[in-house]
């Protein structure tokens, strides 16, 4: 049974990683047309260094993703605190309304944003992209941090207060440190949502300002070179590193009270 | 003086009254148990004294100081929670030192007091461990050390032992009592375990539907319950209903039962409570009350025997006996139960 399970797991991993590995390998192949036999070369990485458009789009993607992660994590965490620790009118309605945006097709959200931003004068460009990405990421943050909250017992803060903490001190001394792995996870999630985002970015990008997915998409339409594989590989390694660092630091479930 | 006084305290959630006009005094150095079923308001009362809940009406004072409008963190209370509530991200020493830090005590002085507190709960050398490395009983001791190290004015315990297994619970009861006696701290203990309440406290308060129905030392509350609820909740009890006739009570089947204390006026209905262990099978005529009943159920538990009996008119009576001679009465036997008038109390319904 365990043998079968191992084979199954291996099959899933192969299924998940083969296309990515092939993509990465092709970035190191001499041929522009992805022809075999494979002959190792770094020429596409060298070429990439001169491809200002791709590099700039990649940079934009990372900047937008980082800012989105910071803003949405702050806003989402605050919302999460209110939703899990306070009672107020319309709370359950708000909680309910947070979920549909995750399920609404991005094409629809994107169209709605484009129309709304045009109508309200916000327009397109970096700021519009940021607003869009933050709006998209917040529900994920609220979900992830909210789950983290549910593992922290409310009586920990009460214990702190009985020992002389004001509610604010109790929050910073007890709840926030315990919540930290969830907040970090949520930030990473928001970063990934933003980095991944194509549809909304495509709608809100301007000819002078676009993100990597948008740039790759237009490159594919125009005919492309393995430079795309090269930048994708770099980006992939960057995200993987971030996730591994997170896993190392957060040790999910380790510091939390599991009782 | 660090007594705790609660005066006309009431609390209502929505339209449901949780506490109604509670007035009582917890004298300095006393160990009082708040005993009651869930929903009786015992936890609410404790949380009002702690300061987590603000009462709608009434005054709470600790050591003569009115703290009704003082928040929890200004009341200098020591509190133990049902779930231990140790901070999982801090070491044992950091947990115990938390309250000291809030009082501006740091460094070597804090370390000294933490060590003394851990010594007191028999956990020296545990300072650098994390809470999850400790067993439930050990965590509970740390929680006690953390609550005691700040030298609180009052110790509030919210069912702190209910999560422990039986043996550990008894061990912690002894420990708790020792530390309470040594410190002389006014202690209020919420529990639904009547045995725990009787063994630990020098005062038991029985709560029902947001009221204290009886408060007193354990013996008085057990031997002389004032209401049917108090008699039923604390221990087991038989209830005999009848009409008062010239200083005694005549039951439906004609049996006349004498009781200690005052009875309602002649002609009134009365309920008498008799503890099942106070009854015995009467062999020869002796002074005291008498009741004839037939055994319907025999519960054999080795050292203890329980019988359920039924009188001619269908009233159920319980009888607890020690298994002294190995002679177990048989189901279907009709026996005469005897008991003293001193062990018969009139209770309010």
**pLDDT band per the 50, 70, 90 thresholds, residue A1:** low
Instruction: Show the 3-state SS of chain B.
Output: CCCEEEEEEEEEECCEEEEEEEEEEECCCCEEEEECCCCCCHHHHHHHHHCCCCCCEEEEEECCEECCCCCHHHCCEEEECCCCCCCCCCCHHHHHHHHHHHCCCCHHHHHHHHHHHHHHCCCCCCCCCCHHHCCHHHHHHHHHHHHHCCCCCEEEEECCCCCCCHHHHHHHHHHHHHHHHHHCCEEEEEECCHHHHHHHCCEEEEEECCEEEEEECHHHHHHCCCEHHHHHHCCCCEEEEEEEECCEEEECCCCEECCECCCCCCCCEEEEEECHHHCEECCCCCCCEEEEEEEEEEEEECCEEEEEEECCCCCEEEEEEECCCCCCCCCCCEEEEEECHHHCEEEEC
pLDDT at A250: 62
Q: What is the mean pLDDT of residues B318-333?
A: 88
- Kindly state whether residues B289 and B329 are assigned to the same domain: yes
Range of the domain at A89: 52-250
B72 shares contact with chain A (CB less than 8 Å): yes
Mean pLDDT, chain A, integer:
84
Instruction: For residue range B282-302, list pLDDT tens digits in order.
Output: 877 777 888 889 999 999 988
B10 shares contact with chain A (CB less than 8 Å): no
Is residue B203 within 8 A of residue B217, CB to CB? The reply is: yes
- Kindly identify which residue of chain B lies nearest to residue A167, measuring between CA atoms: B73
- Kindly state whether residues A67 and A13 are assigned to the same domain: no
B78 shares contact with chain A (CB less than 8 Å): yes
- Kindly state whether residues B41 and B131 are assigned to the same domain: yes
pLDDT at B129: 92
Is residue B236 within 8 A of residue B261, CB to CB? The reply is: no
CB-facing half-sphere around the CA of B6: CA atoms within 13 A: 25
- Which residue in A155, A163, A168 has the most chain B C-beta atoms within 10 A of its own C-beta, making it the best mutation to test that interface? A163
The total of structural domains in chain B comes to: 2
Tell me the CATH number at A182: 1.10.3720.10
- Kindly state whether residues B59 and B117 are assigned to the same domain: yes
**pLDDT band per the 50, 70, 90 thresholds, residue A173:** very high
- Kindly state whether residues A107 and A133 are assigned to the same domain: yes
Q: What is the mean pLDDT of residues B35-52?
A: 90
pLDDT at A251: 56
Contact A178 B89 (CB under 8 A): yes
CA angle at B187 for the pair B182 and B191, rounded to the nearest 5° = 125
**A22 is written with which tokens?**
């092939």
- Kindly state whether residues A92 and A70 are assigned to the same domain: yes
**A41 is written with which tokens?**
């070369």
- Kindly state whether residues B192 and B265 are assigned to the same domain: no
Q: What is the mean pLDDT of residues A226-238?
A: 83
- Kindly state whether residues B35 and B173 are assigned to the same domain: yes
Mean pLDDT, chain B, integer:
89
The distance of A141 to chain B (nearest Cα, Å) reads: 23
A-contacting residues in B 98-117 (Cβ below 8 Å): 98-99, 102-103
Q: Is the pLDDT of residue A258 over 50?
A: no
The total of structural domains in chain A comes to: 2
Of the listed ranges A158-162, A244-248, B178-182, B297-301, the one predicted with least confidence: A244-248
Q: Is the pLDDT of residue B158 over 60?
A: yes
Q: Is the pLDDT of residue B179 over 50?
A: yes
The better pLDDT of the pair A217, B273 is held by: B273
Q: Which of A156, A162, A255 sits opposite B77 (nearest CB)?
A: A162
Tell me the CATH number at B125: 3.40.50.300
Range of the domain at B245: 236-347
Chain B residues with beta carbon closer than 8 angstroms to that of A256: 88
Contact B83 A259 (CB under 8 A): yes
- Kindly state whether residues B195 and B58 are assigned to the same domain: yes
The distance of A247 to chain B (nearest Cα, Å) reads: 18
Highest mean pLDDT among A79-88, A199-208, B5-14: B5-14
- Kindly state whether residues A7 and A75 are assigned to the same domain: no
Q: Which residues of A124-148 are buried (b: 16+ CB within 10 A; e: fewer)?
A: bebebbbbbbbbbbbbbbbbbbbeb
Element of type H or E holding A112: helix A106-120
Contact B99 A155 (CB under 8 A): no
- Kindly state whether residues A16 and A68 are assigned to the same domain: no
| Residue that finishes a domain, picked among B227, B245, B278 | B227
Instruction: For residue range B105-140, list pLDDT tens digits in order.
Output: 988 999 999 999 999 888 888 989 999 999 888 999
Q: Considering only CB atoms, which residues of chain A are within 8 Å of chain B?
A: 153, 155-156, 158-166, 169, 173-174, 177-178, 255-259
Instruction: For residue range A194-214, list pLDDT tens digits in order.
Output: 888 888 888 888 888 888 888
Say how far apart CA B276 and CA B341 lie, in whole Å: 14
Q: Tell whether A174 is covered by a domain.
A: yes
Tell me the CATH number at B292: 2.40.50.140
Q: Tell whether A255 is covered by a domain.
A: no
Q: Tell whether A15 is covered by a domain.
A: yes
- Kindly state whether residues B11 and B60 are assigned to the same domain: yes
- Which residue in A152, A164, A176 has the most chain B C-beta atoms within 10 A of its own C-beta, making it the best mutation to test that interface? A164
**pLDDT band per the 50, 70, 90 thresholds, residue A257:** very low
Q: What is the mean pLDDT of residues A211-236?
A: 82
Residues in Cβ contact with B236 at an 8 Å cutoff, skipping those fewer than 6 apart: B275, B276, B318, B320
Chain A residues with beta carbon closer than 8 angstroms to that of B114: none
- Which residue in B70, B80, B81, B102 has the most chain A C-beta atoms within 10 A of its own C-beta, making it the best mutation to test that interface? B102
Q: Tell whether A258 is covered by a domain.
A: no
The distance of B205 to chain A (nearest Cα, Å) reads: 24
Q: Tell whether A47 is covered by a domain.
A: no
pLDDT at B325: 84
């Amino acid at each position: 049974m365990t043998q079968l399970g191992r084979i199954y797991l291996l099959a899933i991993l192969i299924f998940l990683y083969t296309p990515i590995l092939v993509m990465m390998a092709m970035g190191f192949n001499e041929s522009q047309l992805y022809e075999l036999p494979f002959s190792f070369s770094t020429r596409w990485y060298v070429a990439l260094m001169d491809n200002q458009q791709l590099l700039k789009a990649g940079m934009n993607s990372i900047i937008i993703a980082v800012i989105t992660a910071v803003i949405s994590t702050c806003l989402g965490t605050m919302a999460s605190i209110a939703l899990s620790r306070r009672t107020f009118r319309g709370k359950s309605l708000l909680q309910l309304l947070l979920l549909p945006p995750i399920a609404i097709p991005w094409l629809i959200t994107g169209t709605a944003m484009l129309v709304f931003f045009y109508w309200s004068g916000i327009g397109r460009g970096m700021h519009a992209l940021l607003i869009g990405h933050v709006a998209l990421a917040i529900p994920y943050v609220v979900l992830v941090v909210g789950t983290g909250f549910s593992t922290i017992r409310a009586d920990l803060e009460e214990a702190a207060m009985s020992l002389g903490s004001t509610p604010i001190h109790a929050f910073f001394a007890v709840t926030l440190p315990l919540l930290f792995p969830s907040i970090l996870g949520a930030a990473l999630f928001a970063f990934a949502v933003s980095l991944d985002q194509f549809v909304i970015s495509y709608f809100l990008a301007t000819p002078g300002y676009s993100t990597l997915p948008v740039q790759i998409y237009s490159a594919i339409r125009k005919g492309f070179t393995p430079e795309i594989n090269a930048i994708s590989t770099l980006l992939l390694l960057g995200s993987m590193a971030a996730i591994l660092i997170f896993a190392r630091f957060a040790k999910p479930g380790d510091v939390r009270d599991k009782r | 003086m660090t007594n705790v006084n609660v005066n006309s305290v009431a609390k209502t959630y929505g339209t449901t009254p949780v506490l109604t006009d509670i007035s009582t005094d917890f004298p300095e150095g006393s160990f009082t148990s708040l005993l009651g079923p869930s929903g009786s308001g015992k936890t609410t009362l404790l949380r009002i004294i702690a300061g987590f809940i603000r009462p709608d009406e009434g005054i709470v004072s600790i050591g003569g100081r009115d703290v009704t409008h003082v928040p929890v963190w200004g009341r200098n209370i020591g509190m133990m929670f049902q779930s231990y509530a140790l901070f999982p991200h801090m070491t044992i020493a950091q947990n115990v030192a938390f309250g000291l830090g809030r009082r501006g005590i740091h460094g070597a002085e804090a370390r000294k007091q933490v060590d003394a507190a851990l010594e007191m709960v028999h956990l020296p050398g545990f300072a650098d461990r994390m809470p999850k490395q400790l067993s439930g009983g050990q965590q509970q001791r740390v929680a006690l050390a953390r609550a005691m190290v700040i030298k609180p004015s009052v110790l509030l315990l919210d069912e702190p032992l209910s999560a422990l297994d039986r043996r550990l619970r008894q061990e912690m009861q002894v420990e708790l009592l020792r530390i309470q006696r040594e410190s002389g701290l006014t202690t209020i203990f919420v529990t639904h375990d009547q045995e725990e309440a009787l063994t630990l406290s020098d005062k038991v308060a029985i709560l029902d539907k947001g009221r204290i129905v009886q408060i007193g030392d354990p013996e008085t509350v057990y031997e002389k319950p004032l209401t049917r609820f108090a008699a039923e909740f604390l221990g087991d009890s038989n209830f005999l209903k009848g009409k008062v006739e010239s200083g005694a009570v005549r039951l439906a089947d004609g049996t006349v039962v004498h009781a200690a204390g005052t009875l309602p006026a002649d002609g009134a209905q009365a309920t008498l409570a008799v503890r099942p262990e106070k009854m015995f099978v009467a062999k020869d005529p002796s002074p005291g009350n008498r009741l004839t009943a037939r055994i319907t159920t025999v519960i054999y538990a080795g050292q203890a025997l329980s019988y359920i009996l039924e009188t001619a008119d269908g009233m159920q009576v319980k009888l607890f006996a020690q298994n002294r001679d190995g002679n177990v009465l048989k189901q279907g036997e009709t026996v005469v139960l005897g008991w003293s008038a001193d062990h018969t109390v009139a209770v309010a319904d």
